[in-house]
Amino acid sequence: MTPRDDSDANSNRWSDLDRPPLNAVALRRALVRNGGHEGLWCDVDVVQRTGSTNSDLVALATEGEAEEGAILVAEEQDAGRGRLDRRWTAPPRSGLFFSVLLKPTEVPVERWGWLPLLAGVATATALSRAAGVDTALKWPNDLLVTVDGRERKTGGILAERAGPDAVVVGIGINVTLREDELPVPGAGSLVLAGATTTDRDTILRAVLRSLGQWYEKWRSVGGDPAGSGLQDTYAAGCATLGRVVRAELPGGKSITGEAVAVDGDGRLVLATAEGVQQPVGAGDIVHLRPAGDTGDAGDR
């Protein structure tokens, strides 16, 4: 990978006492495998600022300058991207913005679509354990927390191919964003959801350990979502299932129905009013009603 930017990452170290910088040295000590022989993670780079950790890591991977298990973390992103090319911005050190390089060559390519869902399960599990915040998944890979009785998005995941044998998975999590800093009304953060800790080093280590464990488990069974337990675990934590939703599809079409399952390909299955079960593999999902609510309600 490119030379580390630790000096920049630790400049003005205590300029915001509520938002201290990440400790790159401690992160490497905690995460990087022993001598390159144990565990998944091989390197951790922390930079002060970049456009997009995903774009940077995809470029490094395609140029042969990053290995599987490389982690790139930015204290601030000014061109972060989410699904459907949405922009993701936040104040410096207010969240976790990082990407990892994976090369699941033992897994058939047709199962690689499970990687963002796997990352969602791993992240939600880690946030619940490390920060004490109940975290749910909105299909396919938005992270939801509850703030003042309402679901709010506190994070998202984006997976991108990096050549024929690699995938870069990017994760963004709002940690200490205050109400007046939220980019849109439906956004949230761990602190607003009552997190027991907002120590980003602790949270990042927990997420990466969980991600590594789930990835190895999934990869060891050839990416089988059922055999790895991923499909059932995702369904158990998915707030979309059991709700009436509108799927806004590419090309301007939409489908409305009850979300009844996540199939073996990671697609969301909708039961429509016409009695058809329609799988949705791509698109934007709007929650129209809470699970079990048969009355009228606005979009959520």
Phi, psi torsion values for 85, nearest 5 degrees: 60, 25
pLDDT given at position 276: 95
pLDDT score of 265 more than 70: yes
pTM of the model: 0.89
* Strand 87-88 with 80-81, pairing: antiparallel
Whether residues 228 and 277 fall in one domain: no
Whether residues 210 and 61 fall in one domain: yes
pLDDT score of 117 more than 80: yes
pLDDT given at position 18: 79
Whether residues 175 and 42 fall in one domain: yes
Top-confidence residue, 169 or 37: 169
CA distance linking residue 138 with residue 240, whole number of Å: 5
Q: What range does the domain containing 92 cover?
A: 6-235
Burial class (CB within 10 angstroms; exposed 0-12, middle 13-18, buried 19+) of 148? exposed
CA distance linking residue 263 with residue 261, whole number of Å: 6
Whether residues 165 and 249 fall in one domain: no
- What would the pLDDT profile of 184-241 be if each residue is shown by its tens digit? 888 999 999 999 999 999 999 999 999 999 999 999 999 999 999 999 999 999 999 9
Whether residues 282 and 190 fall in one domain: no
